[in-house]
Amino acid sequence: MVTIILNHDPYDGSDIAYNALRLASTLHKSGQSVNIFLMNDAVDLARDKTQKPQNYDYDLVAMLKKLYESGVALQACGTCNARCGIFKNEPYFDEKILSTMQTLSDWVIQSKQVLTF
């Protein structure tokens, strides 16, 4: 099991979130069990309200949803929902992903590798 923790605003002018999602997809396609935990400003990845900027090539929310629908485990920090991102307090695209530090802690303990972006 690999746990990937994302912290950055999805469209911050870098490819950090994009590359994390690409890695998650590649690991999943290789048969690895993958967990994605969103915290800090990365929680905007789990909000339908987050729109791809015109100058950006990839819809990161759509990429994340595709991973989630394909079986990648996804959780997003409940505290960060209210405190972080451009769309503070906006709902996540699936209420089942609202999570806690306890879930992240459990994932870290169970994982072979933990990667942060």
Report yes or no: 45 and 60 within 8 Å, Cβ to Cβ.
yes
Question: Model's pTM, two decimal places?
Answer: 0.96
For 16-49, what is each residue's pLDDT tens digit? 999 999 999 999 999 999 999 999 999 999 999 9
Which contiguous run of DSSP H or E holds residue 3? strand 2-6
Mean pLDDT across the chain: 97
In which band, very low, low, confident or very high, does the pLDDT at 110 lie, cut at 50, 70 and 90? very high
Place of tokens 């960060």: 80
Q: Where are the domains of the chain?
A: 2-116
Place of tokens 């530090």: 101
Fold of 2-116: Hypothetical Protein Ychn; Chain: A, (3.40.1260)
